Amino acid sequence: MKNWIQQMLLWRKKTDKGRMALGKVQKEYRENDVCMGELLDALPADGLSIEEAFELAITAKKWADGDRFYRSINDGEPEEL
């Protein structure tokens, strides 16, 4: 059984065809009383590559929660994304 967030998003997906973008994520976030992590789990990444979906998730979490993300390659110095 799908939760109410997934049901609502599936309904909206039927009416809103197209590529997922930050603007759509921000709109859903403003209209729903859920945390960004739950919202991103429920939203389909339509039309995005895995890299684009990752970048969208990072950008959305930075925008919503002020999160900071870092990466370290080969045990090198961490760099902020």
For residue range 18-60, list pLDDT tens digits in order: 678 888 889 989 988 888 888 888 888 878 888 888 889 999 9
Reported as a pLDDT band with limits 50, 70 and 90, residue 6 is low
pLDDT (0 to 100) of residue 66: 84
- CA dist., res. 61 & res. 67, Å (int): 6
If you average pLDDT over residues 57-79, what whole number do you get? 88
- The secondary structure of 4-50, three-state, reads HHHHHHHHHHHHCCCCCCHHHHHHHHHHCCCCHHHHHHHCCCCCCCH
Domain residue limits, the chain: 4-80
Amino acid at site 58:
I
pLDDT greater than 80 at residue 2 = no
With 60 as the cut, is the pLDDT of residue 61 above it?
Answer: yes
Is residue 44 within 8 A of residue 21, CB to CB? The reply is: no
More confident residue, 29 or 7: 29
pLDDT score for 1: 44
Give φ, ψ of 53 to 5 degrees: -65, -40
